[in-house]
Amino acid sequence: MPSVILIDVSLSMSRPVPTTDTTESHTRFTIATAAINSFLDYLSVHAKFEYVALVSFSSVYEVAVPFTRDFDTIRSKLLNLEEGDKTCIDTAFLGVNQLVLSEWGCQTPVQIIVVTDGSSGVGSIGRNRIIQALPLPPSYPAKIHILPIVSPHDSCLQHAMPLYQKIVDSANNISNHSNGALSRGSIYCPDQLSVPGVIATVNRLCEQHYQEFWCALKCGQLEARVQLFPAPQTVTHEELTTSYTLSNQIHVIGFIQQQDLGTPIATSKHLVIPQAQTGGNISGKENYGSKTPTKEGSSTDSANSEEDMSDPSKIPNFCVLLHGALKVEGMAAIVQLGTEWWGTLTAWCEASRARRSCLLLSVLRPGTSAAPWLGPLDQLGPADDGATPAEAFPVRSWRSYSGGGSSCAWARPHALLADVQKVLRHARKLPDKTQHLYKELNRLRRAAISLGFSELLTCVGSALERECAALPATAPPECALQLAHAAAALRDPRTALDIKHTLQPLAANFTVTSMSH
């Protein structure tokens, strides 16, 4: 669950803090910096895979550090933040909304931590104006926590408390409505205005909203203790209004080909991180990698054993075995999360330069119909059963259409844009990319018809016509003919909604040049 640290850099944050200690003086900003560093220290130990962004605000906002896992970058940037003028918290949330939507979209839950000095900067009339101007609730699931760097008895805090409560309640309403899994945000007031008092408040916030979740992953006799990141939240069934909470055991009940599984809707996704092993024990019950030493080679085997135990990469681990098997075989594991509640385990590769691969748990919607094309999930059986037909699941034949290619997943706008841009790139490289163009068009067309997104086909047809009109005079005549044919085929009313129909390239003899006329 990504986090945004929203820090106030207005002039009032530079006010000195009264203290009896004459050897060291602090301002509200230095205390806020110490609190944020303490928060990052906690994440470094308990949630090192958390993405964190730093946004500063006064009358304007600045994205000081975009979302990153390099917490040292945030620490160093805190020392170089520029001082601003007045506090405008409504402007700050405008910047946060733009940052989150551009990076994560409107489906990913986000936590926002507002660090300010406990002053709204205006009187009661101005405060009401700010409440009306707040860009809340956000269009994405969010928890907002407010940490005022102020004494709990300060009159400024009492004046600003209605504004803070309105901010927290606005996010709570949208979170509880759109995703029952999110708990509520809150206002964390320190018991005393000092570095230890504020750090203690930050630790309380972290323990409530950034706690680790450990469980046992089991498959038959094999077992491993794993951490799920981010920690799973309670899920509410939409129809039965029943709450589901993940237990401390996840059971692998079977395996299925990725192409048969498809992409069922997931309420949340979590990295599965194995606990560091202390010995060559893959299941917690038996040491599968040990050898019985002989008298002659006992010292050598003992030395090798000690060397293996000191190197984590040589210690067998069930998660490594499961991840490698799923990745090589192109399969997914079906796991039981609770009563009539399932999930899937897949080998997932990060979209980054490191290209790290890991186990990913997708939590499906509660109920037996979480993946309707598989039928009731509680009735899945062995694929090698003699009574099982050739097609193991009630999967429609057009799922493996002749166009080939993987299915489209348009969870975010940039994914749809990337698919359309791929079509246009192939269109500009005709005639060499003719087959690739029609392969991508069939893939795009099938996904659009499945989603009832017929307007997309019309737009893509118009884009192909524009590409045809923009062809240079030196382009082969086949280019214009294929583009015009593809645009017309996308709009053909006879096959507009026929998902089984496959677009084919225009078959003609292009050896005759246009100069023959």
Cα–Cα distance measured from residue 37 to residue 29, given in angstroms and rounded to the nearest whole number: 12
Classify residue 321: in a domain, yes or no. Answer: yes
| Domain co-membership, 273 together with 366 | yes
Structure tokens at 15: 């006010």
| Domain co-membership, 175 together with 151 | yes
Domain boundary (157, 181, 209) is at 209
| Domain co-membership, 26 together with 127 | yes
pLDDT at position 345, please?
93
| Domain co-membership, 228 together with 100 | no
Classify residue 395: in a domain, yes or no. Answer: no
| Domain co-membership, 424 together with 504 | yes
Neighbouring CB atoms inside 10 A of 454's CB total 14
| Domain co-membership, 80 together with 57 | yes
In the chain, the number of structural domains is: 3
| Domain co-membership, 130 together with 28 | yes
| Domain co-membership, 374 together with 419 | no
pLDDT at position 289, please?
36
> Alpha-carbon torsion 442, 444, 447, 451, what sign?
negative
- Biggest CA pair distance of the chain: 98
| Domain co-membership, 172 together with 267 | no
Residue 232: CATH number of its domain = 2.40.290.10
Classify residue 138: in a domain, yes or no. Answer: yes
Domain boundary (360, 379, 398) is at 379
Q: What is the pTM of this model?
A: 0.65
Strands 249-257 and 214-219, sheet pairing: parallel
Containing structural domain, residue 358? 214-277+317-379
Q: Specify the 3-state DSSP secondary structure of 117.
A: coil
| Domain co-membership, 188 together with 330 | no
Classify residue 307: in a domain, yes or no. Answer: no
Cα–Cα distance measured from residue 336 to residue 251, given in angstroms and rounded to the nearest whole number: 5
Domain boundary (379, 400, 428) is at 379
Classify residue 390: in a domain, yes or no. Answer: no
pLDDT at position 312, please?
59
Cα–Cα distance measured from residue 66 to residue 51, given in angstroms and rounded to the nearest whole number: 9
pLDDT in tens, the chain (517 residues): 799 999 999 998 988 887 766 667 789 999 999 999 999 999 998 888 899 999 999 989 999 999 999 999 999 999 999 888 888 888 899 999 999 999 988 878 899 999 998 887 665 566 777 888 888 888 888 899 999 998 888 888 888 888 888 888 887 765 444 444 445 788 999 998 889 999 999 999 999 888 888 999 999 888 889 999 888 887 776 555 678 888 889 999 999 988 888 888 888 889 998 886 554 444 444 333 333 444 444 444 555 555 555 565 677 788 888 999 999 998 999 999 988 889 999 998 776 555 677 899 999 988 888 888 888 888 887 766 544 444 445 444 444 433 444 566 677 777 888 888 888 988 888 888 889 899 989 888 888 887 778 788 889 989 999 988 888 888 888 888 889 999 988 888 887 777 788 888 887 665 544 444 4
| Domain co-membership, 127 together with 204 | yes
Q: Which of 376, 350, 346, 149 is nearest to 252 (CA)?
A: 346
Classify residue 47: in a domain, yes or no. Answer: yes
| Domain co-membership, 253 together with 356 | yes
Residue 180: CATH number of its domain = 3.40.50.410
Classify residue 301: in a domain, yes or no. Answer: no
Spell out the long-range contacts of 325-333 with Cβ–Cβ below 8 A and sequence spacing 24 or more: 326/255, 326/359, 327/357, 330/257, 330/258, 330/259, 331/255, 331/256, 331/257, 331/258, 332/255, 332/256, 332/257, 332/258, 332/261, 333/219, 333/252, 333/254, 333/255
Classify residue 408: in a domain, yes or no. Answer: no
pLDDT at position 33, please?
94
Cα–Cα distance measured from residue 342 to residue 251, given in angstroms and rounded to the nearest whole number: 10
